[in-house]
Amino acid sequence: MKLIACTEGHSSKIEAFSLEMIAAARSLSQAGDKVVAFFAGRDAQAASASFGVADQLIAACAATSDLIPAETYARLLRDVIAVESPSLVLVPYSANGLDVAADIAARTGWPLISYVNEIKRDGESLTVVAQMYGGKILAECAVGLPAILMINPGAFPEATPGPIDTARVRMIDAEPALTSGKVKMVAIEVPDYADVDLTTAERIVCVGRGIGDEASIDLARNLATMLGAEIAGSRPVVDNGWLPKLRQVGKSGQKVKPKLYLALGVSGAPEHLEGMSHADLIIAVNTDPKAPIFNVAHYGATCDLFDLVANLSDRLRAGSGR
């Protein structure tokens, strides 16, 4: 079986979930199989320095663009699929991956299964466990090959980064595909981190819609201050204007990796997990024992967040004599 693991990066950075895609492919592979990492971006060096766990790296690079748009990425990947004839293509559930997987599925006619958490292999048969209804239902289904699987962030541990030798690297010039596409990359805008840079925060207290209203955020903010943590929010909290955009964690917010992530009233939608599932210690508080945040949490409490915040704040205050 040949497996293609789709990876991403911009400028000279590799996205962390790239190593998860390679780990997922590697965990499925058996003797005689081949794991091919496909990379499209600016910096083939960064990919070559990291993807040693793969059997081969196909790197489509363009020196003129920091980021390869999904349209171009899909086009390059289609060419690779035509040559390599893989049985399985693993795409990350990322902003880019959403467009790429749909494009490939529509053009190849291959089945696409999204929100995949688990893949089981028995000989040449594959079964996946995929999330439905925001993770409240886990569906197990058999996969007819060839197929495309869109993998949830954090579903597989990252492969250990290491160099791949040059004999196993095939370079493709992405420039022609880039210039002939309809979508053009204009610029990457780096946010102004003067207020806060969650990406470097060591402790984060994140509030979700379960916090109820803007006024209640102060309770979580006070707790965060006592813990020496930054306050952050899920997208609904930011969309409601209760916290600024720079404090949003997730797919369309910040990708964080603190030592402590305390999630209060956050359900754990895949788009949220994409931003925080690599935190060292995740503690989740949610009244719903089936909330998907508990799938990634190291510790969880199925209690009312307001009870927990009040009790913990009292104890911290008593401990510090304040």
Ligand X SMILES: Cc1cc2nc3c(=O)[nH]c(=O)nc-3n(C[C@H](O)[C@H](O)[C@H](O)COP(=O)(O)OP(=O)(O)OC[C@H]3O[C@@H](n4cnc5c(N)ncnc54)[C@H](O)[C@@H]3O)c2cc1C
Footprint of ligand X (CB under 6 A): 208-210, 234-236, 248-253, 265-267, 269, 271-272, 275, 285-288, 291, 304-306
* Least distance to ligand X, CB of residue 180, Å: 27
d(CA 38, CA 8): 8
Q: Which residue, 63 or 310, is less far from ligand X as judged by CB?
A: 310
Q: Which residue, 146 or 300, is less far from ligand X as judged by CB?
A: 300
* Least distance to ligand X, CB of residue 241, Å: 14
Q: Which residue, 176 or 191, is less far from ligand X as judged by CB?
A: 191
d(CA 131, CA 152): 9
* Least distance to ligand X, CB of residue 186, Å: 20
* Least distance to ligand X, CB of residue 179, Å: 28
Q: Which residue, 20 or 43, is less far from ligand X as judged by CB?
A: 20
* Least distance to ligand X, CB of residue 90, Å: 20
Give the containing element (helix H, strand E) for 39.
strand 34-41
Token duo for residue 320:
């510090």
Q: Which residue, 176 or 212, is less far from ligand X as judged by CB?
A: 212
How many C-beta neighbours within 10 Å does residue 299 have?
11
* Least distance to ligand X, CB of residue 321, Å: 29
CB-nearest residue to ligand X = 250
Give the containing element (helix H, strand E) for 130.
strand 125-132
**What is the torsional sign of CA 177, 18, 232, 132?**
positive
d(CA 21, CA 145): 18
Q: Which residue, 39 or 115, is less far from ligand X as judged by CB?
A: 115
DSSP 135-172: GTEEEEEEEPSSEEEEEPTTSSPPPPPB---GGGEEEE
